[in-house]
Amino acid sequence: MKNVFTGGLLLPALASAACISSGDQNTINSAFQSGGQNAVVQLCPNALIQITDIVKFTADGQELSTQGYPTDSSRATIQVAVGSGASTLISARDLNNIRIKNIQLEGNRQNAGFLSGGDANIIVGGVTSGGQVISNVASRNPRSWSCLHVIGSGQDNNPCRNVTLTNNDIGPCGQSGTDPASGDGLWADGISLDCTASLVQGNTITGSTDGGIVVFGSPGSTVTGNTVKSSSQYLGFGAINLVDDEYDGSYAGVTVTNNNIIGDKLFNIGIGVGANVWSFNDPSALSGPVTITGNTISGQVSFPIAVNGWTNGITVTGNTVSGVTSPKSSFADASQCSQAIQSVFNSNANLIYYPAGISGSQNLQSGFVATPGNATNFLCSSLPLPNSVTFQPGQLTVVSDSGPFATLHNVIAQYQGDNNLVVLQAGSPVWASGHTLPNGGNCGSPSGCQLKFGSDGNFASFFNGVQQWSTNTSGSGKSLVVLNQAPWIQVKDGSGNVIWDTTKNQ
Ligand SMILES: *[C@@H]1O[C@H](CO)[C@@H](O)[C@H](O)[C@H]1NC(C)=O
Ligand SMILES: *[C@@H]1O[C@H](CO)[C@@H](O)[C@H](O)[C@H]1NC(C)=O
Ligand SMILES: *[C@@H]1O[C@H](CO)[C@@H](O)[C@H](O)[C@H]1NC(C)=O
């Protein structure tokens, strides 16, 4: 080990070496460049380094850490500067035996904003023969999709291997929803692992909004003793995911043991296993053998363990789900889910599988409940949904095909790409404005159609600025109400009298 500031000649102990107390990414990057292989670059305790670009490891065996290896808030912080185009704080991919230890990484999404096209806070892995260690690192508020990405090598015959992630404190990562401006998801993973024979142990992930620990195949990897807790504010999709089809869908030798999963506001899925569990369907079943034992799942989790789309070996034993909140309707809503999923939600099942969706050897603990039919997309549950939503004049403006503008218990209202405004109950249309564009026209892309409850109190649709349909309530409309029962949509005046509803159309 060589220390870049002392040359390692006279001062033998790291503790007495100089540390970086100020500067930016260039300060750290020049230390790596001049130090070369095995350079140890240390930040001073409590240092705050603002960056406008990536901190980049440059050679095998390099280390970035806080001097003295504290584990508390005195760990040095690297932070994305507001106004900069930076999102990734540290990249150490394609190198061997690098170490990132005892520092804090602040992606600063709350001040610098979500960055469309950005990347994970930390990127390691890649073309590496291994020995990478990330420990006692805090990573939070990424401007993009993940707090920590162990990236695959992209080479089937030379996969990423042996990355160790231990005792890190991760999160919050992302927030729920979609950025209306870019259409990009605002969610982010805690740890995204795409690397074989790796270890994810003793990490605490709090407030991931996409997957807490997402295992992309990664044959031979171990996920053990981690705590994954959902946000107290936002929906989290899944705590531990085995749902993606990297490595040709192989999870051979993956073990997920003794993890503690806690749904605070809401996790849709505790441990998701298989090709047909997430919002997409992989082209074929994912394969084991995989072992999922000794995990504890508690709190507000809609589907604690769900399995569909697996082959070649699965063991799910000794997991504890007795602490999952019941009934599920007290914290979540599954009215937008398929009938098969609503059935297991309504019966408060915690261990769920689709028997025809598993082939090969299987050892499932007692208490597994079969879904009545091929239940796919367990991400369908949501925070409890209201029975109505009210908009004030000027509060609602949507373009066509932008998703439902009202999502209610069992009902959605949406504005289609043909200018038709429709209300669906349990997936079936119950009312439509009927004013599609003439000659089977559609709104085009980008859409020329707009639906709004204008500041004048009129609820109207427009194509290229020309009004197509309206409730004729300009001047008198003071609120727009969307309901999950007939008459579905109402416009009210200032005294609360209904001056238009769907029975007055056509
Ligand atoms: C994996 O990496 C760890 C940490 O650097 C090292 O101790 C271990 O020997 C490596 N294992 C293999 C099989 O290379
Ligand atoms: C379940 O449905 C998914 C999506 O359509 C499909 O890919 C999968 O093969 C189905 N599973 C079975 C066992 O039919
Ligand atoms: C609004 O007024 C126009 C013109 O009087 C009429 O053609 C249309 O049907 C009315 N729309 C509704 C929703 O009542």
Which of 252, 237, 266 is CA-nearest to residue 324? 266
What spacing in Å lies between the alpha carbon of 413 and ligand 2's midpoint? 29
What spacing in Å lies between the alpha carbon of 414 and ligand 2's midpoint? 28
- Residue ranges per structural domain of the chain: 46-370, 388-504
CB burial of 49-64 (b: ≥16 within 10 Å; e: otherwise) equals: bbbebbbbbbbbbbbb
What spacing in Å lies between the alpha carbon of 506 and ligand 3's midpoint? 8
Round to whole Å and give the CA distance between 259 and 223: 8
**311: enclosing H helix or E strand:** strand 310-311
Round to whole Å and give the CA distance between 67 and 103: 9
Which of 480, 483, 501 is CA-nearest to residue 387? 483
pLDDT at 17: 62
pLDDT at 182: 77
Predicted confidence pLDDT, tens digits, the chain (506 residues): 444 444 434 443 444 469 999 999 999 999 999 999 999 999 999 999 999 999 999 999 999 999 999 999 999 999 999 999 999 999 999 999 999 999 999 999 999 999 999 999 999 999 999 999 999 999 999 999 999 999 999 999 999 999 999 999 999 999 988 887 777 889 999 999 999 999 999 999 999 999 999 999 999 999 999 999 999 999 999 999 999 999 999 999 999 999 999 999 999 999 999 999 999 999 999 999 999 999 999 999 999 999 999 999 999 999 999 999 999 999 999 999 999 999 999 999 999 999 999 999 999 999 999 999 999 999 999 999 999 999 999 999 999 988 899 999 999 999 999 999 999 999 899 999 988 998 778 999 899 999 999 999 999 999 999 999 999 999 999 999 999 999 999 999 999 999 999 998 64
Per-residue CA distances from 168 to 176, 198, 390 (Å) = 23, 15, 43
Per-residue CA distances from 37 to 163, 446, 492 (Å) = 19, 51, 72
Mutational test site, ligand 1, from 98, 150, 164, 166, max ligand atoms within 8 Å of CB: 164
Round to whole Å and give the CA distance between 269 and 336: 16
Q: Which CATH class is domain 388-504?
A: mainly beta
Backbone angles phi, psi at 452, to 5 degrees: -150, 150
Which of 71, 14, 26, 72 is CA-nearest to residue 52? 26
- Are the beta carbons of 455 and 393 closer than 8 angstroms? yes
CA 276 to ligand 2: nearest atom: 3
Which of 102, 184, 180 is CA-nearest to residue 143? 184
Q: Is the CB of 505 under 6 A from ligand 3?
A: yes
Mutational test site, ligand 3, from 472, 474, 498, 502, max ligand atoms within 8 Å of CB: 472
Tokens 């069992």 belong to 410
DSSP state, 498?
A: E
The ligand minimizing its distance to the Cα of 222 is: 1
What is the residue type of 387? Answer: N
CA 354 to ligand 2: nearest atom: 13
Round to whole Å and give the CA distance between 263 and 179: 24
Topology of domain 46-370, CATH: Pectate Lyase C-like (2.160.20)
Round to whole Å and give the CA distance between 362 and 36: 50
pLDDT at 11: 41
Tokens 């007939």 belong to 486
pLDDT at 176: 84
- Are the beta carbons of 480 and 490 closer than 8 angstroms? yes
Q: Is the CB of 502 under 6 A from ligand 3?
A: no
What spacing in Å lies between the alpha carbon of 333 and ligand 1's midpoint? 45
- Same fold: 46-370 with 388-504: no
Backbone angles phi, psi at 502, to 5 degrees: -65, -15
Q: Is the CB of 357 under 6 A from ligand 2?
A: yes
Query: Burial of 258 by CB count in 10 Å (0-12 exposed, 13-18 middle, 19+ buried)?
Result: middle
